[in-house]
Each structure stands twice: as structure tokens, then as C-alpha cells.
Amino acid sequence: MKLSVVIPCYNEAPNLPALVAGYAVVAARTDLELILVDNGSTDDTPAVLAALLKEPRYSFARSLRVERNVGYGHGIRAGLAECRGEASAFSHADMQCRPEDVLRGFELYGKSGPGTVLVKGRRTNREGLERFLSAGYSGLACAALGIPAADVNGQPKIFPRSLAALLAGGPDDFALDLYVLYRAARAGLRVVEFDVAFEPRLHGESKWAFNARAKLRGILRFFRQIVRIRLGGYG
Ligand SMILES: Nc1nc2c(ncn2[C@@H]2O[C@H](COP(=O)(O)OP(=O)(O)OP(=O)(O)O)[C@@H](O)[C@H]2O)c(=O)[nH]1
Ligand SMILES: [Mg+2]
């Protein structure tokens, strides 16, 4: 097994058929296992996953249920613990990140020195306030933590499986995206970014920025987490 891909899924039932079909195209081209983490979903995710994973063409995929939703980072860590590939990866479930980007990223990982790099997507098609906020956050976070990257929250992220052990005790929320880069840089891995598009969500609504207030709370939390990581609050 070369690559394990973890997808944390939180109430994404309508997106799962297209997601798994997308990864089937990737799995036909490289040796890959897909680990779908049902991250304490309260929608039809368990039934939809059970039906999909019965299909022989999807034998490269399996699922794992986290009973109680704790957060995005917690779900990703649960999935990473199950990985058997030489490299591990994670990305999103709502089809904003194209499955084929995992293949492009994995090819780049192979060329860049497997075992010595973390390869990640860098979103290029953001505009207006989104672009300003994400560039500001990434600039500040990376400067504060010594991370050579331009876009913290771009997916997918692909890295040696051994990095997962360094994430134990890390953030349970979206700050895991920052923490994995911090841990990679501290472990001496080179961070290599490649351009990706960030598509609109296929179905459903944002799981954290569902209104202006929630979005502001989420953004403030992102900034607080930079400080916590910097002060060694996660080790
Ligand atoms: N908020 C949240 N998202 C989770 C969790 N577990 C997994 N996810 C997944 O994390 C991914 C990113 O969450 P989104 O709500 O789409 O965040 P986003 O992409 O910044 O927001 P949108 O652009 O509106 O989609 C989705 O695929 C979610 O299903 C969780 O516990 N909380
Ligand atoms: Mg999304």
C-alpha cells in the first residue's frame, strides 16, 4: 500500500456518492486506500456509507465511525491512526477539494523525496474578503511558527505516515491544519505547495461558517490557536 487518504465527514451524506466515485478514479491509477471517518454525523451518513461500501468497485475504501463529534482535527487523527500506507493524506468531504488533486500531490510527493517532504495544496482561486482573510491568517501563522507555506488551509496534505505520531495531543478543531505543518517543519520535513482550485461546496452548508457570527467566532479561534501552538500548548 502506497497511500492512505483520510476524509473526515461531518453530516456530508449528499456529497458522499460523488466523493467516493471521485476517489475510485484516483484508486484506479495508484495504490490507495480511502478511510472515510464518519465524524459523529447525525444525518444519513452511516446508511449512505454502508450502502456505498458494499459495492465491489469501492473495495479500496472503508469507514470508521467516531461516535461523538469532537471536531475536525479529532476526526482526522482517528483516521490517521488506521492508515497502512507508506504515505498518509487528508482532505475534505464536500467536494471543494478535487480527488484528482490527491493524485497530483502524490506524484509531486514521489518526485520531491518521499519521506522528507509534506506536500500540500495552495488555493489559487479565492477572491475578495476570503482571499484577504486567508492570506492574512496564513501569513501571520506561518511567520509566527516558522512554517514555509503560503496557504495553511489548502488541501490535500500528503506526508510520511510517521508524522501522525507527532500529532497526538494536537488540536481537535480546524487548527490541526496548522499544527500538522508546524510539526512537519519542526521534524525537518520540507513543505512543498502546489496550486489547486477550491470549488464551491457540492451540497449542504458550511459546517463552521454557517452564519456571520459563527464565521467571526471561527476566525477568532483560528488566531487564538496560533498563540496556543506558539506557546507550546500542544507540545
Ligand atoms: N466543522 C466541522 N467540519 C468537519 C468536522 N469533521 C469533518 N469535517 C469536514 O471538514 C470539511 C471542512 O468543513 P467545511 O464546513 O466545509 O469548512 P469550509 O470548507 O471552510 O467551509 P465551506 O467553504 O463553507 O464549505 C468538510 O468536509 C466537513 O465535513 C467537524 O467536526 N466539524
Ligand atoms: Mg468546505
Over the chain (235 residues), the average pLDDT of each successive run of 10 is: 95 98 97 98 98 98 98 98 98 97 98 97 92 94 97 98 97 98 98 96 92 93 96 93
Which atom of ligand 1 is found nearest the CA of 39? 6
Q: How high is the pLDDT of residue 235?
A: 83
> How many angstroms separate the Cα of 197 from the Cα of each of 127, 178, 194?
12, 20, 10
Q: How high is the pLDDT of residue 104?
A: 98
Which atom of ligand 1 is found nearest the CA of 205? 24
Residue 123 lies in a domain: yes
Residue 39 Cα, ligand 2 centroid: separation in angstroms? 15
* pTM of the model as a whole: 0.97
Residue 163 lies in a domain: yes
Residue 76 lies in a domain: yes
Q: Is the CB of 6 under 6 A from ligand 1?
A: no
- Strands (DSSP E) contained in the chain are 3-9, 32-39, 61-66, 87-90, 117-123, 157-160, 190-196
**In the chain, how many domains are there?**
1
Residue 93 Cα, ligand 2 centroid: separation in angstroms? 8
Ligand 1 binding pocket mutation candidate from 19, 68, 72 (most atoms within 8 A of CB): 72
Burial of 21 (0-12, 13-18, 19+ CB in 10 A): middle
Q: How high is the pLDDT of residue 1?
A: 74
Residue 235 lies in a domain: no
Q: How far apart are CA 196 and CA 204, in angstroms?
A: 22
Centre a 10 Å sphere on the Cβ of residue 150 and count the other Cβ atoms it contains. Answer: 16
Q: What is the CATH number of the domain that holds 194?
A: 3.90.550.10
Q: How high is the pLDDT of residue 31?
A: 96
Q: How high is the pLDDT of residue 150?
A: 96
Residue 84 lies in a domain: yes
- Determine the structural domain holding residue 59 and report its residue range: 3-230
